[in-house]
Amino acid sequence: MNNLSEDFPILQQKVNDEQLVYLDNAATTQKPRAVVEAITNYYYHDNANVHRGVHTLAERATAQFEAVRKKVAHFINASSEEEIIYTKGTTEGLNWIAASYGETFLKPGDEIVISYMEHHSNLVPWQNLAKKKGAVLKYIDLLPDGQLDMDSAYKQITDKTVIVSLAHASNVLGAVNPIAEVTKIAHLHGAIMVVDGAQSTPHMKIDVQALGIDFFAFSGHKLMAPTGIGILWGKSELLDKMPPLEFGGEMIDWVQLQKTTYKKAPWKFEGGTQNIAGVIGLGAAIDYLESIGMENIASYEKTLIANVLPEMLNIQGIEIYGPLDPEKRTGIISFNLKGLHPHDVATALDMEGVAIRAGHHCAQPLMEYLNVAATARASFYVYNTVADGKKLIEAIKATKEFFNNGIV
């Protein structure tokens, strides 16, 4: 897969006179020509609003728009394309579950269970919902290596639990959570299982039916699609019980002066003009990924991490967060260098052409749990190479030498 970078023109450039090594994929991925061309082709030849016209352009746009819904259903093995709702991203999907399902079914004294590794998008909506409904928000502990503590999961999920919501993979630790096992615990107590799939969907084969979960949300821009498009999947029997959140054009069935009826799911949740070009771009991104094979992507990334991680661990003064076994993590490596602020590390690496991220990564409770203010984070994707990993190691060593006045 080392020649995939040729499909990504942005990766061919130099930054600070150095060949760009892009390792900020957990924040957003680069887009292949096929995705950009699909969007351009739509705007050049088929630009029209969907579902609202009988002219040729409208019919072509609508056909493409709905074809992607079927494509997404196949991509995550949903039982029907009618379980696929277009959103602007993972954050919106999780907020919609809290605001629709949570507001409808949560009562005072009920429990919501999440973990300490959650992204703010899978924490703040539940925190807000708990306050509004008088519910209790509880946290599953982590093991020393950053993996989910299953003993804690068994203790925290009780008969009072109504919602369990977890990241499939941590955006800081890279840890992949045992979602199917947690789902069985949740269902045993009558709770639903919500999954933040932002960091898993781009990197592994997703099968929502095999996981046994109830809701799954992910973002397009983390899997080579445009920004502003995402997916919320939910079991049809749950979506049917949930009220819509946005009212107006397209989501209605019939409007009278004092009464309105709504379409069935998923369309009742898709009020207003959708991100049509984004949907078409998402379809092209899925085509690109499936041409490689999600199993192949997962295997390749594990090989990359198996090459990089031991070399990083040999650097004196480095601390790496999350499991050290490549089989138990995605392509995310969060780290700190002793005595250096992560922002200084990221700035120094940028001078070497290596793009990483530094900060709290929208996971401040996790930072507090780890007893750090921030971390540096390198995140790999399928177009990265072993050479990219070596450049990262060299840049970290050069940074360490520079800040230590030449003393490694």
Residues labelled as active-site residues: 362
Residue closest to 385 by CA, chosen among 299, 307, 290: 307
Q: How many CB atoms lie within 10 A of CB 406?
A: 7
User: Could you give the angle at which helices 276-292 and 56-76 cross, rounded to 10 degrees?
Assistant: 40
Instruction: For residue 100, give the 3-state DSSP assignment.
Output: helix
Tell me the C-alpha distance between 194 and 123, whole Å.
Answer: 12
> The tokens 């076994």 sit on which residue?
325
Give CA separation, 114 vs 45, 156, 178, 187, in Å: 46, 9, 14, 15
| Angle, alpha carbons 114-119-124 (nearest 5°) | 70
Residue closest to 201 by CA, chosen among 117, 280, 286, 122: 286
DSSP one-letter code for 173: T
Q: 371 Cβ partners below 8 Å, 6+ apart? A: none
Tell me the C-alpha distance between 341 and 58, whole Å.
Answer: 53
